[in-house]
Amino acid sequence: MKRVMAIVGGGPKHFIPELKKYDTNETFWIGADQGAETIIEHGLTPDIAIGDFDSVSASSFDNIKRTAQEVLTFPDEKDETDLELALGQALERRPDHILLFGVTGGRLDHSMANLQLLYPIRKQGILATIIDVQNQVELVEAGEHKLGLVEDFPYVSFLPVTLEVRGITLNGFYYPLEGADLPYGSTRCISNQLIEEEGTFSFRSGILLVIRSRDLMDTG
C-alpha cells in the first residue's frame, strides 16, 4: 500500500511546484478535475482522476481517460467539491501523509476553505501538507514538535488558528520564545528562521498553522 497520497486540485498552475520532486514509490497520485491534467503535464500518471471534469477540454479529458489508472466521474451538481471527492478517496486508503497541491493561489474563498480541510484530516491522525511554489502549510495541535531545516523554505511562521495558543516555546530559532501566549490575530511569530539543523517548538493548548515559506525572485 502506498502511504503518501498526493492530491492535485485545479488551482492556478503557476502556483504548483514541480511535482516529480515529490514522487516516490510510496506516492499515490489523485487528480481532482483539472488536477489530473496537471499531473499528466508534469510527466506523471494519475492513479485516480476524479470529478465532473468541467474544467478541462474534451481532448484533455480523452487524454485523462487514456492515461489515468482509474477515472471516477460525477455530475456537475453534487454536494461535494471535486477536491473533497479526491480527499475522500485518499482518506479511504488510510495514508500516513497527504500532500495537497493546486489548492491555493486562486480565489481567496477557495484557498481559505482548503486550508480549513487540514483540520478534519488532522483529527483522523493523518499528517497533511499544503504545498505551492512559495509555501508549505501544516496544522499542528498542542504538544512538542521537531522542525528540520529546509533550504527551499527558509522562513517559518506560527499562526494561531484558535482564539489563543498558550505557552509556545521555540528553540533553535533566530527569535526564540519561552512560554508565550499568542492570541488570534497576533503577528509575533511571523518570519522566524531556524539557526540549527533541527529546531523544536511546543505549546500547551490551541492549534497552530505552521507555514514555511520563501520569497520569489522577480523575473519580470
Q: In whole angstroms, give the CA distance from residue 36 to residue 86.
A: 11
Q: Does residue 147 contact residue 156 with C-beta atoms inside 8 Å?
A: yes
Q: What is the DSSP string of 86-119?
A: HHHHHHHT--SEEEEESSSSS-HHHHHHHHHTHH
pLDDT at 2: 62
Residue 192, classed as helix, strand or coil, is strand
- pTM, to two decimals: 0.91
Which stretch of DSSP H or E encloses residue 61? Answer: helix 58-67
Q: Is the dihedral of CA 55, 60, 61, 63 positive or negative?
A: negative
Q: What's the confidence (pLDDT) of residue 193?
A: 95
Task: Please name the residues in contact with 202: beta carbons below 8 A apart, sequence gap of 6 or more.
Answer: 143, 144, 145, 167, 168, 169
Each residue's pLDDT tens digit, 3-26: 999 999 999 999 999 999 999 999
Q: What is the tens place of the pLDDT at every residue in 131-142? A: 999 999 999 999
pLDDT at position 1, please?
55
pLDDT class for 106, splitting at 50, 70, 90?
A: confident
Phi-psi region of 146 (alpha: psi -120 to 50; beta: other; left: phi over 0): beta
Structural domains of the chain ordered from first start: 4-133 (3.40.50.10240), 138-213 (3.40.50.10240)
pLDDT digits (tens, 9 = 90+) for 155-205: 999 999 999 999 999 999 999 999 999 999 999 999 999 999 999 999 999
pLDDT by residue (tens digit) across 34-82? Answer: 999 999 999 999 999 999 998 999 999 999 999 999 999 998 877 788 9
Buried b (16+ CB within 10 A) or exposed e, 56-65: beeebbebbe
pLDDT score of 218: 45
pLDDT at 110: 86
pLDDT of residue 184: 94
- 208's enclosing H/E stretch is strand 198-213
What pLDDT, on the 0 to 100 scale, is given for residue 220?
A: 38
pLDDT band of residue 107 (cuts 50, 70, 90) is: confident
Count the residues in the chain: 220
